[in-house]
Every structure is written in C-alpha cells, then in structure tokens.
A and B are shown apart, each in its own frame.
Chain A
Amino acid sequence: MSLPPELDFWHPVLTSEELDDAPKKVRLMGTDVAVFRLRGGGSVGAVLDRCPHRGASLSNGTVRDRCVVCPYHGWKWATDGTGQSPGNPEGSFRTQAFDALESDGAIWIKRAGTAVPFPRFDVAGFLEISRMRRRVNAPLEVVLDNFIEVEHTGNVHYVLGYDTQRLGEVICRVETTPESVRVYNQGAQKPMPWVLRKLFRYPPNAHFVDDWVTHFSPVRSVYDQYWIDRLTGERGGDFLRNTVFFVPVDAQTTELFVFVYAEATAWGRFGLNLALLKPLTAWLGRLEIEADVKMIEGLADKSPEIRGNLLGRFDRGPLAARNRIRRIYRRGVEGLESVRNEGGED
C-alpha cells in the first residue's frame, strides 16, 4: 500500500495524556493509524488501522505482549509490523507499521524507516504553559496562512496583536532559506489590560515583536513573542515561545498541535508564575487560537490556491511558505533531499 509522502515526516498526533492503555485511532492525510502504548512502559507503537486479515479496526483492539491484538480474530501485530495469527501458527504476516515516539508530552509518528530529522523545538529552560490539539475545517495551506501573517491580528485577536490604527507602521521582514521562512514583525501593540502588562513585564515604550520561523519537514512554526523598548531595543521580561504543528488530517481538515512555553521559571516570583502566569497565558493562548479558527472556518473561499488573489506586503510570508510546502512537504523524503542538495528558488 502506498502512503502519502507527507507521512515520511514526524507528526504529533496525540498528547501523552490522551493515550492510555487502549489503542487510539488517529488520521493523517486520510490514512487511519492505530497508536498504542506498550504494556510495562517504555515505548509506543503504531500500525495501519486496518487489519490486513479482514479489515477490522485495530484501534478497537487491545494491547498485549508488546503487540496490538485485533478485536475480530485475534491476530497480533507488533510495533515493527510483523504479525502472528493464533489460528495459523505457521504463517508469517506483515502490516504497514509506523515509527512512533513519545517526546515533549506528545506522541509522534511517521512512516517506518524514513531518514528524516526530528522536528525539535528549543525550549530548554522554558516553562511549559500548555499543550493542545485543535481541529480546523480548512486545508493546511489556508490554516498556515493565518499563522504567518500579522495583518489579521489587529482585527481578529484579543490581546496578542498589533494596533489596527497603526498597522501601516508595522515592520514586516521576511527572510528565507531553501528550508525555512522567517517573518519578523515589530510594531505598536494593541491596547493591553494593565494586569497583563504587569504580568508580562511590559517595558516602557513597548513594541510588540512577533518573530516566526516556519519549517516544512513537517510544517511547523515557532513563534517568539515578546516586547522590546522601541527606543533602546532592550527586551522586556517574559516572552512566549509557541510551537505550532500543522497536521493534515485530510485534504479539507487540519489539526493544530500547539506547544506553548514561556521564558520564566516555575518557582519564580514567589509562585506567581505557576499560580497566575501559567493559567492566564494558557487561557489567553486558547482564546486567540479560537478566534483564528473561527475566522478561518468562516472563510468564503478555502481553496489553497492564492495566485490570482490581490496580495499585500504581509502576504510575502504565506507565498514563500506555499512554495516550500509544495517543494518539500508534499514530496516527503525526496523533497527534503532535493532541497538539501540543490537549495532552491524562492
């Protein structure tokens, strides 16, 4: 069976808490996969969620002896894809397996055996704020568009955005490499409640900075959000580092997998960080994402094609990203290799 090339790359599919003793069904590019946690701890496994015997859904099965057991006739499938049939002890069977890994509080899968980098995000010494999945009824490209331009933040967002009146002054710098797109935005912040200004240690003469880098194997963006004193260029206090993975469930559905971290220590400010900063930032993050999702799902045109649209200076990021989605992400390992060997046009 041939799997879509996108599955060559590691994707987060469940949070660690969501995977208990029972296998779970997840969907990637229209392919259903049964993910399971091995008994006795250690690792996780994943196989195609369709028993090669007579098509039962293995995610309805159970886990035993480091295998997932089919609920229909009890054939057992190991993490490497080899099968055993209690009724056919002589036979040797195989199914499509996936590499599975638990890391950063998430379960990750990819096609077995592909040589691809693991999409690490650097949060050494950061405080974990929250981790969540959110399904969006829109194609990956359209969802990503929203997440790599700031023009919408004045209208759509509650707090983490730019002042709509002064959008014209917002600096928007786009830097690209064959493998990545960075968008640096800096400008006047939307009016922010006093409590939040205190909590985030808003500096004097604050400018809000949104510094985003997107990579494409798989598609994910790391968002550094912080404030600087626009006169001295000095950083304000705490900042956020959000990593969002754009996981294609199928052609019309995308799952946002969001990791929110703050540059703060858990014990800092006499527990204020844990007691206040963490829940408040988590709540705020959720609020802003819901606002984005509502806007995206209500679009009149959700076609991934934007050539032919009228575009402005903030749309350079989305354009550069689409090009890389096509050249790298949609071609899997082959795309990654070609861009590494040859670089590529913009």
Chain B
Amino acid sequence: MNETATDVLVIGAGPAGLAVGGCLKPAGVAFELLERASKVAPRWRDHYERLHLHTFRDLSRLPDHPWPLGVAAYPSRDQVVAYFEEHARQNGLRPRFEREVTSLRREGTRWVARTRGPHGDERWSAPRAVVATGYNRVPNRPRWPGEETFSGRVMHAAEYRNGREWLGKRALVVGSGNSGAEIVLDLFEHGASTSMCVRHPTHVSPRDLFGVIPTQVLGLGLGWLPPKLFDRLALPMTKRLVGDLSAYGISRPERGPMELLQATGRVPLLDIGTVELIRQGRVTVYPGIERFDGSDVVFVDGRRAAFDVVVLATGYHAALEGFLDGAERLVDGKGHPTAFGEEHPDAPGLYFVGYRNPPTGAIHDIAKEAVRVAKAIAHAATTATTTTATATSTAKSSTTSSGTTSGATRSAADPADSGEKKGART
C-alpha cells in the first residue's frame, strides 16, 4: 500500500479543516487535507435548500477571509458554500478528495491514517494530526415501536432538501432545534399541513433582538459571564420579546439557556418565524412520540394523528469512535473531545477542531480554535528537530506567541480585530 508522509494530517475539509489548512499554509507547514467527499464543505452543500446561516455573517467567518460584498447578514446556503470554496481557492488548498479515513492511529511517533475510496486503499502518516470531521458526522436516529407499520415516510433532517413533494400532505417534524424549526417553516411554505414535536422544554429567542441586532452578538458580548449570571441578564429580555408559549405546547426549562447549554449541549431556538405560525394556529405542537400505528403517530399524551411524512430533526453525533483508535479515552460523555484548540493531553500530536457549539456559533469558534491549533503546530514543528513533540512542550507553545514562524499568527474571526480588514463591513 502506498504511504504518503507529511508534517500534519488534517482530516475533513469542512469549515474546520479548511480553517486549519488556511492557517498552516502561510506558516510553511506541510500538510495533507483528507476529505471523504469530492468537494469542500460537503455538509453545507447537502443541507436543506432554505437554510441560511443563523449566526451573523461577520461573526461567522474563517481567519482572514472576509465575506464578499453582495451577501446579506444571514447568507444563504449557496452563498455559504461559495464562501468556503473561495477560501480554499484563495489559500491554495488542495484537499485529497474521495479519501475517507477509516482509521487513525498512533504508530510509534507518527499518526497513521488509512483511507479508502476510488483511489484505492492508501496510508498517510505524520507526527501530528488534526481531526476536523465535525460534531455532526452521523445523524441521531431514534426508533419507536410500530415504526415498521407506518404507512408514511420517515426521514432524518440530513436527507431533507425541500418541502416541494409534500404540498397538501401532512407533515410532522420531530425536534425543536434550529433545523427542526426551520424545516417546519419550509414545509408550511410549501403548502404542507405541518405539525411539530417539542419533546423538551425549550428556550426561544428571536434571531434578531428588536428586529435588527443578532442575538448572537448578545452571546458574544456577555458570554464571559458565569452561566447563571448570563441567564439572569438574558432571560428577562427574551421572555419579554417572545412571551409565554406554554399554551401552545412550548414551555421554558427550569434552567437558564446558558446553564442548559453547558449541561446538555442544547442550544436555544433562535426563532425566525416558526413561533408566529404556532401562535396563529398554522402549526400544531405535539409532545414526544410514543409509537407509530399504521398511518398514525401516537404521542405521549395519548393524542394521535395521521401523517404522510415524519422528519427527524433529532441532531447528530461526532462518532469519532468510527475511525479514531482509542477514541473512548479522548472524549466526554457526549462523545466530544475533551481538549480544544490545543494538543490533547492524552494523545501526543493530536488536535481537535470544531467540536463545540457555543451560542456564539460553531464557525466563530472554529476560526478561533484553528488559529490556536495552527500556531501550536507551527511552533512545535519548528522547535522539534525530531518528530517527537512532547505533550508538555506543545501545550505550552500554544500560549506563548510564536515569533519563529512567519505567518502563523493570524487573527481570529472576532469582530474586534476584523474591523479594519479589507472588505470587512459594518
């Protein structure tokens, strides 16, 4: 089997992998970017058509890569894809496409990735590896009794493209996260008679406060506060703006939005119109599903109704154990790696980018982490004469500034330091 040796393996050419590549390149670090699909940012290409970034454009950008003119505050899916393509092009990134990493393991002092695909089975090795396969690699697919008797279709949100074929049909969306809520809107707009399952109490905020300021800005501005204090400040405001929805089947959790996020990883719903449809009686809210029965879905409160399609917006998981050797030692209970933006203390030379989803947005976080990781790697690569960088030396280097490497110091996507960049807009 042919083996390619390099300095760094970056796995995944989504936003996170691209961000890392874009930072390593100017630092002069050699790397290979391995991607399962045949294009960059494939996940964004496959999202449903109606999707827009629900985080603000200028707070969702990769390092040193401003959004082009002619893109609104919440770019559409196609604009997001074009943005990532342009990033790859401008940074001269050439991912090795159609290489699915089937295993990544430490062999001696090197990380070895095995890939498969139309190019056959290949081996890639490097002293360092960055895992950027996304926290939404594999859909969560709950099962219910009686599903095999169901006469309608059940699909995961990952398969959903648009509501066109459901005109005049009865649709149920399970899950009240941001994609669930948007798919509800999409189905309604396509003329489906639409219902929604809200299984847990959920925090709802308008996407824009007072119609103009992205709620994400609030998260950024106050995100440093202790969760409880943040909640004390933010909750009364969103309560006033959204009102009490318990009469419609959506109750507020006992814990505040930030506390809940940190405990369960559930982000608040940034509403873009779904709640109004519920208020106006155009969308019916049900509690969780108990079972399926022929053409019907039976809910935990005993109600039942017939549906032609059930869309599961039930989230995803990182599924690192699918390819990463010894993953169980490196992840927490939710399957997310326990180290961010720096070398994993239990895996020398291994880095993870893109496994947190803070209220300030995944892409915003990725941009910051990618800069830190690239800096640490560049530093380690130039200081270590052999390829054995120890955990302690690299961990330290991520906090000291790396004067030795030319372009490794790149700015994160923070609004504060992007203000004067070319094309950066206000």
Question: Does A associate with B in a complex?
Answer: yes
Q: Is the CB of A42 within 8 A of B76?
A: no
For chain A, the count of residues having a C-beta within 8 Å of the partner chain is 34
Q: Is the CB of A101 within 8 A of B426?
A: no
Please tell me if B68 contacts chain A, counting CB pairs below 8 Å: yes
B260-282 Cβ-contact flags toward A at 8 Å (1 or 0): 00000000000011001001111
Residues 16-52 of B at the A interface (beta carbon under 8 Å):
52
28 A-B residue pairs with Cβ-Cβ distance under 8 Å, sorted by A, are A42-B279, A42-B280, A43-B279, A44-B280, A102-B276, A102-B280, A103-B273, A115-B191, A115-B192, A116-B191, A117-B167, A117-B190, A118-B188, A118-B190, A120-B189, A123-B72, A124-B52, A125-B57, A125-B73, A125-B74, A125-B75, A127-B212, A201-B69, A226-B70, A235-B70, A265-B425, A266-B213, A269-B426
Q: Is the CB of A265 within 8 A of B212?
A: yes
Q: Which residues of B contact A120 (CB under 8 A)?
A: 189
Q: How far is the CA of A100 from the CA of B381 in the complex (A)?
A: 65
10 new A-B pairs (CB below 8 Å) besides A115-B193, A236-B70?
Answer: A41-B279, A117-B167, A118-B188, A124-B73, A235-B68, A236-B69, A239-B70, A263-B71, A266-B211, A270-B426
Please tell me if B168 contacts chain A, counting CB pairs below 8 Å: yes
- Given A115-B167, A117-B167, A236-B69: A267 in contact with B280 (beta carbons within 8 A): no
Q: Is the CB of A124 within 8 A of B272?
A: yes
Residues 64-117 of B at the A interface (beta carbon under 8 Å):
68-76
**CB nearest neighbor in A for B280:** A43
Q: Give chain B's interface residues, CB within 8 Å of chain A.
A: 52, 56-57, 68-76, 167-168, 188-193, 211-213, 272-273, 276, 279-282, 425-426
**CB nearest neighbor in B for A228:** B70
Q: How far is the CA of A346 from the CA of B224 in the complex (A)?
A: 59
**CB nearest neighbor in B for A340:** B167
Q: How far is the CA of A236 from the CA of B272 in the complex (A)?
A: 28
Pick the contact of B213 from A122, A267, A269 — CB < 8 Å?
A: A267
Q: How far is the CA of A103 from the CA of B279 in the complex (A)?
A: 12
Q: Is the CB of B74 within 8 A of A265?
A: no
Closest chain A CB from B200 CB (angstroms):
24
Closest chain B CB from A191 CB (angstroms):
23
Please tell me if A158 contacts chain B, counting CB pairs below 8 Å: no
Q: Give chain A's interface residues, CB within 8 Å of chain B.
A: 41-44, 101-103, 115-118, 120, 122-128, 201, 226, 234-237, 239, 263, 265-270, 340
Q: Which residues of B contact A236 (CB under 8 A)?
A: 69-70
Q: Is the CB of B74 within 8 A of A124?
A: yes
Closest chain B CB from A340 CB (angstroms):
8
**CB nearest neighbor in B for A117:** B191
Q: Which residues of B contact A125 (CB under 8 A)?
A: 52, 56-57, 72-75
Q: How far is the CA of A284 from the CA of B4 in the complex (A)?
A: 62
Q: How far is the CA of A205 from the CA of B369 in the complex (A)?
A: 41
Q: Is the CB of A266 within 8 A of B212?
A: yes
Closest chain B CB from A6 CB (angstroms):
16
Q: Which residues of B contact A102 (CB under 8 A)?
A: 276, 280
Pick the contact of B72 from A43, A126, A340 — CB < 8 Å?
A: A126
7 smallest CB-CB distances across A and B, nearest first, come from A115-B168, A125-B73, A125-B74, A235-B70, A266-B212, A125-B72, A43-B280
Q: How far is the CA of A210 from the CA of B348 in the complex (A)?
A: 57
Q: How far is the CA of A184 from the CA of B313 in the complex (A)?
A: 37
Closest chain B CB from A272 CB (angstroms):
10
**CB nearest neighbor in B for A201:** B69
Q: Which residues of B contact A239 (CB under 8 A)?
A: 70
Closest chain A CB from B212 CB (angstroms):
4
Q: Is the CB of B52 within 8 A of A117?
A: no
Pick the contact of B426 from A41, A123, A268 — CB < 8 Å?
A: A268
Q: Which residues of A contact B279 (CB under 8 A)?
A: 41-43
Q: Which residues of B contact A115 (CB under 8 A)?
A: 167-168, 191-193
Of A115, A201, A226, chain B has the most CB atoms within 10 Å of the CB of: A115
Q: How far is the CA of A263 from the CA of B79 in the complex (A)?
A: 14
Q: Is the CB of A124 within 8 A of B76?
A: yes
Q: Which residues of B contact A124 (CB under 8 A)?
A: 52, 72-74, 76, 272
Q: Which residues of A contact B74 (CB under 8 A)?
A: 124-125
Q: Is the CB of B73 within 8 A of A126?
A: yes
Q: How far is the CA of A266 from the CA of B426 in the complex (A)?
A: 9
Pick the contact of B69 from A127, A234, A268 — CB < 8 Å?
A: A234
Q: How far is the CA of A269 from the CA of B425 in the complex (A)?
A: 8
Q: Is the CB of B191 within 8 A of A42?
A: no
**CB nearest neighbor in A for B169:** A115
Pick the contact of A43 from B69, B273, B281, B425 — CB < 8 Å?
A: B281
Q: How far is the CA of A236 from the CA of B282 in the complex (A)?
A: 40
Q: Which residues of B contact A263 (CB under 8 A)?
A: 70-72
**CB nearest neighbor in B for A115:** B168
Q: How far is the CA of A124 from the CA of B76 in the complex (A)?
A: 8
**CB nearest neighbor in A for B272:** A124
Q: Which residues of B contact A265 (CB under 8 A)?
A: 73, 212, 425-426
Q: Is the CB of B280 within 8 A of A268?
A: no
Q: Is the CB of A237 within 8 A of B69?
A: yes
Closest chain B CB from A117 CB (angstroms):
5
Q: How far is the CA of A118 from the CA of B191 in the complex (A)?
A: 6
